[in-house]
Structure 1
Amino acid sequence: MARRALILVEGHRSIGLQYVTAAKRLGLHPVTLSADPAQYDYLAPESLETIRVDTDDCDALIRECSQLRATCDIAGITGFSGVDESIYATVGKLCQRFGLPGPDPASIERCCDKYTQRQLLAVAGIPMPAYRLAMDAADVKSCAMEIGLPVIVKPAVGSGSCGVRLCRNVDELARHTAYLLAREPTHGTSSRILIEEFAQGPQYSADTVGDEVIAVGAASFDRPPHFVVRGSVFPALLTEYEYKRIADVSLSCLRCLDLGWGPANIEFRWTKCGPVVIEVNPRLPGWTTPRLIQLAHGVDLITEHIRLVIGEEWDLRRRHTQVAAARFLLPDQDGIFDWIDGDSRAAAVPGIVEVKIYTKPQTPIIRKGDFQDTIGHVIAVSPSLSQTEAILQRAVDLIGWSITPFPALG
């Protein structure tokens, strides 16, 4: 009997191994197609099958999948967006080509363009911050003045908070605009710039599958002007009214953007006017979110996503309610990451379920103000928010590290 293969287009540094493990548990043979398999440190140690291919070239991916079909049964195809969200649209095209369940690529592409997404949400009357699209520095300044400082300035295409900054005055606006316009365009990016009203209030996110809200979590950020996540908790501490408002707006977003298949993630700020949509991501989020949802509610989103991908029946029922939270470890300066200590002691604290360090000693640290700044995380779970937060703090206090600043220039 031919092996049943799960094709993974690219890997993922935080949740890729979880997909591989879940696929094997379901009796599938995972095969990763990647432009650079070496960038995913879990592939070689696990002796996983990989194929080097230009994942920006849909025709090349079709050829590789066609060749794989000669030796195995392709049960499903999925993949990871990373910084380049166009990968997930490519996944949808491959699924259509091979008659497999998958997302609608046109819907994914519309959603990944933040300006197009905003326009569609606006037509549907979804509550959002004021926004404008700019093409050059003069446009950016004009749009910012129309909306009123402070404003959020970010690329129209991208993810992971890359290039996202709060600009509080004209000087910050000019500097960040120059930075965005000077960036070398890559696949999935453009010089188009989105300027948005700064919506102030607590940050929440709703994770959905199909037309169902699975969980709502809360997040906290490091110091402005950047938006680097410092902590995350599931479930968010909400009243019944607040939860219903977020859930209702989330489902309206899915209908408006035609995202009725598969996972999605909707980010909110709860303002004085209620929830406003910051962003809709047409995919399962990475980092600690799937793990926190599993700990909090007993729903394994990764396994159930794979079941959906291969056309099997899924199960999204909540099995329990705990409070799960993550604290991210963030460097306070640039330099050479010398050492880190205390992570094993932190892992031994009762209630801690995971301590993970991403950065190896002697690695240069250059903070970018996005998800790449994180050097590790700690996850805790307990029956209550106060208890979980106390456990996290006890563990984080045991961890220390050293960074030697770069030598001063000149």
Structure 2
Amino acid sequence: MKNVLLINTSGEPAARLLQERSGIRLSVITTPGYRHFYRDDTDVTVVDTVEDLTQVRLAALEIRKRNPFEYVVSPSELSLQAGGYIRSYFGLTGPGYEVANAFSNKHVMKQRLAAAGLPVARFIQLAQFTEVTEAGALLGWPVVVKPAIGGGSEDVFVVHDEAEADRLATAELTRQLRESPYPQLAEEYVDIEAEFHCDAVVVGGQVHFAAVSRYFQPVLASVGALVGSYTLPDDHPDATEVRELHAAAVKALGLTDGVTHLEVLKSPRGYLIGEVASRPGGGGIAEQLLHQYGVDIWMEFLATSLDDPVTCAGIAPADHLIQYMLPRPLGTITAISSEEDLLKAPGVVHADVRVKPGDRTTGVVHSATFAGLVLLKADSEAQVHERIETLGRHYRIDVTTEEG
């Protein structure tokens, strides 16, 4: 029997797998919006936010009275720091706070990467949004402004000049960023030729498995439109460069065991590390890795978290596996393609439609806003783009923004 504490928000696969697994005494710390991930008989403590480390520590102290947990699992972007903090606080195995902070706090992350001589865009930490004007003067306009902690391209803004910085300093659009409980980060704007992600399993400080994929277009430019990526063969020149950067980043940030998701930008200045997280990638990446490589990245994440054997093998397919995240515009859905219809498109091997007519989307669209996932096979990069275009014509979603 392994005694496990799960600190989680949006990491549904980890919640499901740990509840299904035998030989686990599971306790959970989560927030109200994610309580529905857990059965009534699961030991769940709800806190206002997992980002408040004092709340999490006090909850963990109470949980240890009934479950002397030996392992901490923290699978979501916002729970990474809490997981590291609790491991350090109780002297448990796994990434402590220093490592967790380096993989989740983008300012510290870029400091460590730059200190190790790795290529990153120039950056400045901001205490408040009004400092964007100074950052623009130092870095040059435009600048990219984002919270130091967060994911999904949420609250990320390209600010083009001082006048726009002044407007955004009081705009409703930036209110969530300005009121967030994190420092902010300003980075120089980089002309991006291509963006890649590398998803890997690290064991004993060595990269055990690493797969490189290319996004259809840079993620920031695709928010609200088509988001997805396709795998690259191991011997592809871009894949080779990205894997080397990944191995160096893991070493620089001090991870010995875990799963990583790295993003790399290709620019006129060469390859630049964007961000790297010590958790599985979001969107359709887990399904992409499973279908192309036979690697269940969530199972490997739990294995590295619980000191279980890692089972993934290094296979190297020569074709491409496309993960196509179905666009989901704001509004009420009136019609959408069925899974059966999507499976008729060329190359499609998997279709999962996650919304239905009558569902309504409100708020801010970010890179994790999508209606479902389609996976397609392609024999070449030219065919990748043909199949993306064909599926785009095949897919239908109708929405209305009218009230009532």
Same fold (TM over 0.5): yes
The normalised TM-score by structure 1 is 0.81
Shifted more, 347-356 versus 152-161: the winner is 347-356
Are 2:28 and 2:44, in contact at CA under 8 Å, matched by a contact in 1? Answer: yes
1:260 aligns to 2:256 (yes or no): yes
Q: Distance in 1 between matches of 2:316 and 2:41?
A: 34
Q: Does 1:10 align with 2:8?
A: yes
Kept in 2, the 8 Å contact 1:20–1:30? The answer is no
Asked whether the equivalents of residues 300 and 310 of structure 2 are also in contact (C-alpha less than 8 Å), the reply is yes
TM-score normalised to structure 2 length: 0.82
Q: Report the secondary structure of 2:216's partner residue.
A: strand
1:273-313 deviation digits (Å, cap 9, x = unpaired): 32111112232222211221122222222112212222122
**May I ask how many residue pairs the two structures share in their alignment?**
392
Letter in 1 for 2:34: Q
Q: 2:286 aligns with which of 281, 287, 290?
A: 290
User: Cα–Cα, structure 1 residues 123 and 272, in superposed 2: closer, same or farther, change >3 Å?
Assistant: same
Counterpart residue identity of residue 333, structure 2: F
Q: For 2:38 and 2:120, locate their aligned partners in 1 and report how far apart those are by CA, in whole Å.
A: 40
2:156 is matched with 164
When residues 285 and 137 of structure 1 are mapped into structure 2, their CA distance, relative to the original with a 3 A threshold, is closer
2:85 is equivalent to residue 93 of structure 1: yes
**After superposition, what is the alpha-carbon deviation per residue over 1:327-381, rounded to whole angstroms, capped at 9, x for unaligned?**
122245x433333233332145575343333445444433524234323222223
Alignment of 1:25-64 (within 5 A): 28=24, 31-36=27-32, 39=34, 42-43=37-38, 49-54=42-47, 55=50, 56=52, 57-64=55-62
Is residue 2:323 matched to residue 1:326? yes
Aligned equivalents of 2:65 and 2:344: distance in 1?
48
Whole-Å separation in 2 of the counterparts to 1:355 and 1:343: 5
User: How big is the shift at 1:202?
Assistant: 0.3
Asked if structure 2 preserves the Cα contact closer than 8 Å seen for 1:166 and 1:225, the reply is no
RMSD of aligned residue pairs (Cα, Å): 3.4
Change (3 A) 1:7 1:344: farther
Does 2:321 align with 1:317? no
* Closer, same or farther: CA 146–398 of 1 in aligned 2, 3 Å: same
CA deviations on 1:232-277 (whole Å, 9 max, x unpaired) are 3342368654333222222222222212331222211111232111
1:114 lines up with 2:106 in the alignment: yes
Structure 1 residues 43 and 381 mapped into 2: Cα distance closer, same or farther (>3 Å)?
A: farther
For 1:386 and 1:318, the matched residues in 2 are separated by 25
Question: What is the CA–CA distance in structure 1 between the aligned matches of 2:100 and 2:225, rounded to whole Å?
Answer: 25
Counterpart position of 1:77: 72
Q: Does 1:190 align with 2:182?
A: yes
Query: After superposition, what is the alpha-carbon deviation per residue over 1:158-209, rounded to whole angstroms, capped at 9, x for unaligned?
Result: 221111122344444444444476337777x325342323242200112232
What is the correspondence of 1:118-157 to structure 2 with a 5 Å cutoff? Answer: 118-136=110-128, 138-157=130-149
SS of the aligned residue for 1:77 comes to strand
Whether the aligned pair in 2 keeps the contact of 1:101 and 1:308 (CA below 8 Å) is no
Q: Structure 2 vs 1, CA of residues 383 and 28 (structure 1 numbering), >3 Å: closer, same or farther?
A: farther
Amino acid at match of 1:381: K
Secondary structure in 2 matching 1:287 = coil
1:54-92 alpha-carbon deviations (Å, 9 max, x no partner): 14422333235324427xxx574312324x2xx112223
Q: Which moved more, 1:300-309 or 1:141-150?
A: 141-150
Deviation at 1:140, TM superposition (A): 1.0
User: Which is worse superposed, 51-60 or 20-29?
Assistant: 20-29
2:192 partner SS: coil
**Counterpart residue identity of residue 192, structure 2:** Q
Distance change in 2, residues 1:75/1:236 (3 Å): same
One-letter amino acid of the counterpart of residue 323, structure 1: H
2:13, 2:298 within 8 Å by CA — same for their partners in 1?
A: no
Summarize the Cα distance change of 1:58–1:244 in structure 2 as closer, same or farther, 3 Å threshold: same
Q: CA contact under 8 A between 2:6 and 2:74: conserved in structure 1?
A: yes
Deviant stretches of 4+, over 6 Å: 184-187
Shift of 1:151: 2.4
Contact kept? 1:214, 1:316, Cα under 8 Å? no
Letter in 2 for 1:324: L
Moved more, 303-312 or 19-28: 19-28
Extract unaligned runs of 5+ from structure 1. none
- Which one-letter code corresponds to 1:354 in the other structure? H
Out of 377, 380, 387, the residue aligned to residue 381 of structure 1 is 377
- Contact 2:213/2:229 (<8 A) preserved: yes
- SS of 1:371's partner is coil
